[in-house]
Chains A and B, each alone.
Chain A
Amino acid sequence: MSEVIVVTSGKGGVGKTTVTANIGCGLAMLGYKVVLVDADTGLRNLDVVLGMENRIVFDLTDVIEEKCRLRQALIKDRRFEELFLLPTAQTKDKSAVTPKDMQNICSQLREHFDYVIVDSPAGIEQGFQSAVAGVEKAIVVTVPEVAAVRDADRVVGLLEAKAEIRDPKLIINRLRMQMVQRGDMMTLEDMHDILGLELLGVIPDDEQVVIATNRGDPIVINENSLSGRAFKDIVRRMLGEPVPLMNLENGEGFFNRLRRIIGLG
């Protein structure tokens, strides 16, 4: 039974592509057959984050224009046998992919994969409409900022209205526990109060993610990083395991804890 999931956010720069890459790798690490679909035509990034940019010959728009078969456009990951990328075009714009095209592609892909994960573009226009057209589930990514949460809320409404996707799952990215503890950042409760979505996971703000992403190696591969473990937990929750939320306060460090104890924090 395959699942077709879109990763979306409304606001740009909150980590949709990073989340897509890490969830995809995480599922593939557990042996699932996964295809990641980049729906951000004209501003594609998923190929770069996965370190696959130099392997692209055909893309989603070539499949749509029948210049190649779907199979020819799929790129196999060099690390995981069961992970594939369907890239999109960089030299075209969103009008090259219609919602109907995406429905068609997704229904073909689900025949061959356990998970089809679509990386949506930012925004709520044509690109978003196409990205959500062929999916049945959604993951909404946000960061603990008022603007991002507002946009996430808007997107949740649109998912329901336009694509009949109910109860998307929420991922909160780049949480800084120290700021939350100081009262300078929205807390998980604050965001839950507004969005009311089931929380799939929380990713701590972690410079290792930036380093790994720039290298083209998703952080989930790294056993030692806190954020990598957070992504692993997310994957397990997607599979239905009841994994408790990680205690992010452990990453606080001795000196900060000391500062807090003696009242400087």
Chain B
Amino acid sequence: MAVQHALNGLNDSPTVLVEGILRSGQSVSFEGNVVILGDVNPGAQVTAGGNVVVMGVLRGTVHAGAAGNEQAVIVAFRLRPTQLRIANYIARSPDGEVFNPNQPEIARVRDGIVVIEAFPPSGERQGKK
């Protein structure tokens, strides 16, 4: 299963659920995983020791694996972040035109850079059925 694979090894961490829109200036910080049941707006910040899942639009800044865990991932229904940080890696949104696929995506560190991919990986199957 794609979900278990992506979050491998971090399933047992304590997880906090945040319900509602995280607005500019608001922040959530937790040592385990963070799940946001809503959007994360520009200017809002989420910091987690583990993974971050946003069940909404992620437009703000998220730091996963903040204590140095490079395996941590960031998943969002719509990934439009100002900035993504995983462990000590930082990625920012490009300037100018951006390709914004209308599907959930996952960000993780691969070979020293933050990579964003469709989530689940077999995204095209959804479209065909």
Given A53-B42, A54-B82, A54-B83, is A90 in contact with B25 using a C-beta cutoff of 8 Å? yes
- Are B93 and A54 in contact, CB atoms less than 8 angstroms apart? yes
Question: Which of B25, B42, B90 meets A57, CB within 8 Å?
Answer: B90
Cβ of B26 under 8 Å from chain A: yes
Query: In the assembled complex, which residues on chain B have CB atoms less than 8 Å from the CB atom of A44?
Result: 43
- Are A90 and B43 in contact, CB atoms less than 8 angstroms apart? yes
Question: Which of A53, A78, A91 meets B25, CB within 8 Å?
Answer: A91
Q: How far is the CA of A160 from the CA of B5 in the complex (A)?
A: 64
Query: In the assembled complex, which residues on chain A have CB atoms less than 8 Å from the CB atom of B12?
Result: none
- Are B24 and A53 in contact, CB atoms less than 8 angstroms apart? no
Cβ of B95 under 8 Å from chain A: yes
Question: Which of A54, A55, A91 meets B45, CB within 8 Å?
Answer: A91
Cβ of A123 under 8 Å from chain B: no
Query: In the assembled complex, which residues on chain A have CB atoms less than 8 Å from the CB atom of B92?
Result: 54-55
Listed residue (B25, B42, B45) with the most chain A CB atoms within 10 angstroms of its CB: B25
Question: Which of A54, A55, A90 meets B24, CB within 8 Å?
Answer: A90
Cβ of A99 under 8 Å from chain B: no
Classify the interface of chain B: helix, strand, loop or mixed: loop
Question: How many residue pairs, one in A and one in B, have C-beta atoms under 8 Å apart?
Answer: 26
- Are B83 and A91 in contact, CB atoms less than 8 angstroms apart? no
Query: In the assembled complex, which residues on chain A have CB atoms less than 8 Å from the CB atom of B42?
Result: 53
Q: How far is the CA of A78 from the CA of B42 in the complex (A)?
A: 21
Give residues in B with beta carbon < 8 Å to A.
24-27, 42-45, 82-83, 90, 92-93, 95
Question: Other than the known A43-B25, A91-B26, A91-B27, what 11 A-B pairs have Cβ atoms closer than 8 Å?
Answer: A42-B25, A53-B42, A54-B83, A54-B92, A54-B93, A54-B95, A55-B83, A55-B92, A57-B83, A90-B25, A90-B45
Q: Could you show 26 A-B contacts with beta carbons less than 8 Å apart?
A: A42-B25, A43-B25, A44-B43, A51-B95, A53-B42, A53-B82, A54-B82, A54-B83, A54-B92, A54-B93, A54-B95, A55-B83, A55-B92, A56-B83, A57-B83, A57-B90, A78-B95, A90-B24, A90-B25, A90-B43, A90-B45, A91-B25, A91-B26, A91-B27, A91-B44, A91-B45
